[in-house]
Each structure stands twice: as structure tokens, then as C-alpha cells.
Amino acid sequence: MTGPTPPSVATTVPAGSSADFVVVEGVSRFYGVKESRVRVLDRARLRVRQGAMCVIVGASGSGKSTLLNAIGGLDRPDEGTISVAGTTITALSDRDLARYRRRHLGFVFQFYNLIPNLTVAENVAVCRHLSPTPMDVDELLATLGLAEHRDKFPAQLSGGQQQRCAIARALVKRPDLLLCDEPTGALDYESSRQMLRVLEEVNRDLGSTLIMVTHNDAVTAMADQVVALKDGRIVRETHNSDPLSAADLEW
């Protein structure tokens, strides 16, 4: 194998499709005021099908994390609307937006955000009560290779183990939508491959719609949909008719 096959170009999902799960319409975000005001997102439009894996790429400062945070309801856009599973989250009150995040969203941060004085099992269990149908903590830890580390604290784990713990915490409530911000950014090559296998299984077996921000272009070969940002604008969108498995990625 000489490397991953580039994604094949296809048309975007038609507006109004019944399969649309995430719909971003004309979203802009500004930071700063007056002469220092900067447009970080520029009228972004995006549709992601239910159960798809969407990868967002672009240089640092292109607006990737800002778009992800807006979809996750962690940051409100200044213009435009965002709908998830038919609910316009940009129209929700702060209380309802918090309820949306608790019930429907899993978020894997680049730097884990684990609670240092809780064990692995406790870090995962703290999110279990947010779902009426949570996953079993012990079963989830076993699936992610963390069973023997369940009583360790984050400082006693490797980077890959901490990242798996962060994924377990996001998954325990069976999220409809899983958002990952540079999930392999702090990992070495082998740990990155292992992490991508886990995310692939989550997307395939749990049916969670997955949106991932990454700086690693090789990851695009395993995605159903690839979105490229530049200076806050979506400049390219491609669809991959035959994604590679995580095990076959090379970079």
C-alpha cells in the first residue's frame, strides 16, 4: 500500500433531506470589538447525515474548533442557525441548551479534561446519570481496554489511556452526536491508530453521528464526509464513497 486513497468528490447532501442530522445554515462568529473585531467563522453552511463520520480539516486558526463548539452548543454563533435532529439549538434558552448537551451530546476534548481527583471509573460514571439509558461502566471500560486501570487516577495513566477514558466518559450516556476536537493530537502513532479504531467502532456499532476536527489529513480517508475550512470559510466539501478502515490508514 502506498498510502490512503483520496476521498472521491460528490455533491453535498440536498437541503431538506430527511437524513440530515446536523444542519448549519449561514453561521458566522466574531471575536473582539470595533477595529479589533475578527470574523472567525464566515457564513458556514454544512449538512451531516445521521450516522455519518464527518472530518473537519484546516490550518490552525481556520475556525475548526469554533465550528465544532457551535454545533455542540458550547458557543453561540453571532449569525445563522444550527439544527441537530430537527431541533434548532441556536434558538434554545441557556437552560434548554444545557439539557440538549446533557442528553444528546458527547464531547471529546483534545486535552481530555478529566477530573484529577477521581478514578477512571468515577470519571466515566459521573456522566452516567445524564442518560435514561446509559451504558454499563464496567462493560465500557472493558471494551476500551481500561478495565485493569479502573481504580487509577488520571495522573497514573498514559496519554492514550487518558484519551480512552475521555472517550468512555463521552460514550457512557449513548450520545446521538459525538464531537471530537483533535482526539489524536497529543498521541503517538500507535496510540493514534488505536484511538481511531475505537472511534470507528463507536460510529459503526452505536450509530452515533461523529464529527471530528483533526490536523491529520490521513484521517480523511476513513470519513464519509470531509470539510475543509480556510479563514473561517468552508472552501471544500467532499464525500468518500469507499472509506478506509482505521487499521488501513497510513501516514
- Tell me if 12 is assigned to some domain: no
Within a domain: 250: no
Give the pTM. 0.85
* Overall domain count for the chain: 1
133 lies in some domain: yes
Residue 203 within any structural domain of the chain: yes
The answer to whether position 3 is within a domain reads no
Q: What is the CATH number of the domain that holds 60?
A: 3.40.50.300
CA-closest candidate to residue 17, choices 44, 52, 66: 52
Residue pLDDT tens, the chain, 251 long: 334 333 333 333 334 444 799 999 999 999 988 888 899 999 999 999 999 999 999 999 999 999 999 999 999 999 999 999 999 999 999 999 998 888 889 998 877 889 999 999 999 999 888 877 788 999 889 888 899 999 999 999 988 889 889 989 998 988 899 999 988 876 778 878 888 888 898 888 888 899 999 988 899 999 999 999 999 999 999 999 999 998 888 87
Q: Shortest CA distance to 29 belongs to which of 73, 67, 68, 82?
A: 67
Q: Is 2 contained in some domain? A: no
Residue 139 counted as domain residue: yes
Q: Which domain holds residue 74?
A: 20-240
Asked if residue 143 belongs to a domain, the reply is: yes
Neighbours of 76 (CB within 10 A): 14
